[in-house]
């Protein structure tokens, strides 16, 4: 009995000790509970009484995929992009439309425009290139086709299109600035231009090891736009310049300039591929300008202006003002007339004159006030009816000038837009082709 009492007493003591432990645990925060660990994906942040919940971990942002639109091909649009159409100036309607090129700042493309010169505000796009600059342009003599060269940082491309911008086709490609000097044949069937090819040569270095060298050389190429057939007519020597001047009156020869050892004017026969020298031009070159009928060249030499026959046998001086008074010269639409621009020394005015190379008579086409900056106009091309000319003013822009009245019509351009190349397209029903 005594032994049983001791056992019962021990058990009661253990129970009392357990009760004490439970009481202490309740007093100091409770017993820990067993919690099964959750997966890492579903665990919540730990909370404390003195700190707000921790922010959730940042979700990584995946950069959006940039999809560049395909490079748009130039397409004509009949929608005018100019400001609201102004009222045409009170001038007689022109029998010709003016066709010109505007290049925008680098990488912003270019446009071919068409407009009545007395109402430039109603101009319309013929062609637009979104990125490329137009570096060359030539209108076929029959006024039906337009040839263009566009250039970007990768290539130069030769295009031919109808004069209204339709049926645009690429016909040749080269390295940047590798196509230049476009000239249509007088029957509007062929295109001549300067191209470039790579000539490969091999030499031995000091150790006798062969070294391959690549040299760019200029060529004269001939293209049939109807078939796309191209042929090389001539290839220059390394480091020699080669520039086409134009076609002969009978379409059988091409005139060109070679630069070594001096600048010389040459002609190449398209049938025999034989070249003949016409005249030595000297050590400095301003490219000669061929007359509308292909029979003469207008040449600027240190002594002044001269005209030279296509055979090189006839030559005659052209009376010109002093160099500081000469602001432009070119052939008129007629074969025997040269247009000269002369700045007056007595007043802010310039005179646009015509000199007949046969009769040596001179007449004044127009007298025009110089720009507000005191800079002269430089006429570039006269319309076939001798009513309009387009002229540039250094750092000021372009103007259409109505010759009978001297009225100047500014040509709208974008900021730093560059305007060049002007041709004249006969209006429907007016005849006369293009110039």
pLDDT digits (tens, 9 = 90+) for 84-124: 345 577 888 888 999 999 988 888 899 999 998 888 888 89
Q: Would 236 be classed as within a structural domain?
A: yes
Is 128 or 27 the better-scoring residue by pLDDT?
A: 128
Burial of 343 (0-12, 13-18, 19+ CB in 10 A): buried
Domain count, the chain: 1
Please check whether residue 410 is in contact with residue 370, taking contact to mean a CB–CB distance below 8 angstroms. no
Q: What is the pLDDT of residue 31?
A: 34
Q: What is the pLDDT of residue 233?
A: 93
Domain at 264, CATH number:
2.120.10.30
pLDDT digits (tens, 9 = 90+) for 210-221: 887 778 899 999
Give the position of tokens 């050389």.
217
- Residue length of the chain: 435
Q: Would 268 be classed as within a structural domain?
A: yes
Q: Would 335 be classed as within a structural domain?
A: no
Chain centre distance of CA 320? 34
Please check whether residue 195 is in contact with residue 158, taking contact to mean a CB–CB distance below 8 angstroms. no
pLDDT at 432 over 90: no
pLDDT digits (tens, 9 = 90+) for 384-418: 999 998 888 876 778 888 999 888 888 877 655 66
pLDDT digits (tens, 9 = 90+) for 155-177: 999 999 999 999 999 999 998 88
> Closest by alpha carbon to 191, among 158, 235, 155?
158
For the chain, what percent of residues have pLDDT higher than 70? Answer: 76
3-class SS string, the chain: CHHHHHHHHHHHHHHHHHHHHHHHHHHCCCCCCCCCCCCHHHCCCCCECCECCCCCCCCCCCCCCCCCCCCCCCCCCCCCCCCCCCCCCCCCCCCEEEEEEEECCCCCCEEEEEECCCCHHHCEEEEEECCCEEEEEEECCCCCEEEEEEECCCCEEEEEEECCCCCCEEEEEECCCCCEEEEECCCCCCEEEEEEEEEEEEEECCCCCEEEEEEEEEEEEEEECCCCEEEEEEECCCCCCEEEEEECCCCCEEEEEECCCCEEEEEEECCCCCEEEEEEEECCCCCCEECCCCCEEEEEECCEEEEEECCCCCEEEECCCCHHHEEEEEECCCCCEEEEEEECCCCCEEEEEEEECCCCCEEEEEEEECCCCCCCCEEEEECCCCCEEEEEECCCEEEEEECCCCEEEECCCCCCCEEEEEEEEECCCCCCCEC
d(Cα 242, Cα 264) in Å, to the nearest integer? 10
Q: What is the pLDDT of residue 8?
A: 41
d(Cα 246, Cα 290) in Å, to the nearest integer? 7
For the chain, what percent of residues have pLDDT higher than 90? Answer: 40
* Mean pLDDT to the nearest integer, 225-245: 91
Decide the pairing of beta strands 337-343 and 326-331.
Answer: antiparallel
Tokens of 212: 């391959």
Computed over every residue of the chain, the mean pLDDT equals: 78
Is 177 or 222 the better-scoring residue by pLDDT?
A: 222
Q: Which domain holds residue 246?
A: 191-224+228-316
Q: Would 245 be classed as within a structural domain?
A: yes
Q: Would 241 be classed as within a structural domain?
A: yes
pLDDT at 67 over 60: no
Tokens of 215: 């040299």
> Closest by alpha carbon to 96, among 78, 114, 122?
114
pLDDT at 32 over 60: no
Q: Would 304 be classed as within a structural domain?
A: yes
pLDDT confidence tier of residue 63, bands split at 50, 70 and 90? very low
pLDDT at 252 over 70: yes
Q: Would 55 be classed as within a structural domain?
A: no
């Amino acid at each position: 009995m005594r032994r049983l009492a001791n056992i019962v007493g021990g058990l009661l003591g253990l129970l009392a000790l357990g009760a004490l432990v439970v009481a202490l645990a309740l007093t100091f925060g409770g017993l820990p509970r067993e919690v099964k660990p959750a997966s890492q994906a579903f665990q919540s942040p730990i909370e404390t009484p003195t700190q707000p919940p921790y922010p959730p971990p940042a979700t990584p942002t995946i950069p959006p995929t940039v999809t560049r639109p395909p490079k748009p091909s130039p397409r004509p649009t009949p929608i005018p992009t100019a400001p609201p159409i102004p009222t045409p100036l009170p001038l007689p309607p022109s029998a010709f439309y003016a066709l010109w090129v505007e290049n925008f700042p680098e990488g912003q493309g270019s446009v071919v425009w068409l407009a009545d010169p007395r109402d430039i505000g109603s101009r319309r796009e013929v062609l637009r290139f979104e990125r490329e600059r137009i570096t060359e342009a030539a209108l076929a003599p029959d006024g039906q086709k337009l040839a263009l060269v566009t250039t970007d940082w990768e290539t130069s491309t030769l295009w031919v299109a109808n004069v209204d911008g339709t049926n645009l086709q690429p016909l040749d490609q080269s390295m940047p600035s590798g196509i230049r000097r476009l000239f249509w044949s007088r029957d509007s069937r062929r295109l001549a231009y300067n191209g470039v090819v790579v000539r490969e040569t091999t030499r031995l270095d000091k150790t006798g090891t062969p070294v391959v060298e690549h040299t760019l050389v200029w060529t004269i190429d001939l293209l049939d736009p109807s078939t796309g057939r191209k042929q090389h007519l001539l290839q220059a020597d390394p480091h020699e310049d080669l520039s086409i001047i134009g076609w002969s009156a009978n379409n059988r020869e091409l005139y060109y300039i070679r630069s070594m050892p001096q600048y010389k004017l040459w002609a190449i026969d398209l049938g025999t591929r034989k070249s003949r020298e016409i005249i030595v031009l000297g050590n400095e070159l301003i490219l000669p300008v061929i007359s509308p009928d292909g029979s003469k060249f207008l040449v600027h030499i240190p002594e002044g202006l001269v005209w030279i026959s296509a055979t090189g046998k006839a030559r005659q001086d052209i009376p010109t003002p002093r160099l500081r008074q000469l602001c432009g010269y070119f052939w008129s639409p007629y074969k025997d007339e040269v247009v000269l621009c002369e700045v007056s020394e007595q007043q802010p005015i310039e005179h646009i004159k015509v000199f007949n190379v046969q009769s040596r008579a001179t007449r004044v086409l127009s007298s025009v006030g110089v720009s507000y900056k005191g800079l002269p106009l430089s006429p570039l091309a006269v319309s076939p009816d001798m009513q309009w000319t387009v002229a540039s003013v250094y750092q000021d822009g372009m103007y259409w000038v109505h010759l009978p009245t001297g009225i100047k019509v500014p040509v709208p351009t974008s900021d730093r837009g560059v305007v060049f190349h002007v041709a004249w397209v006969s209006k429907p029903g007016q005849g006369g082709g293009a110039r």
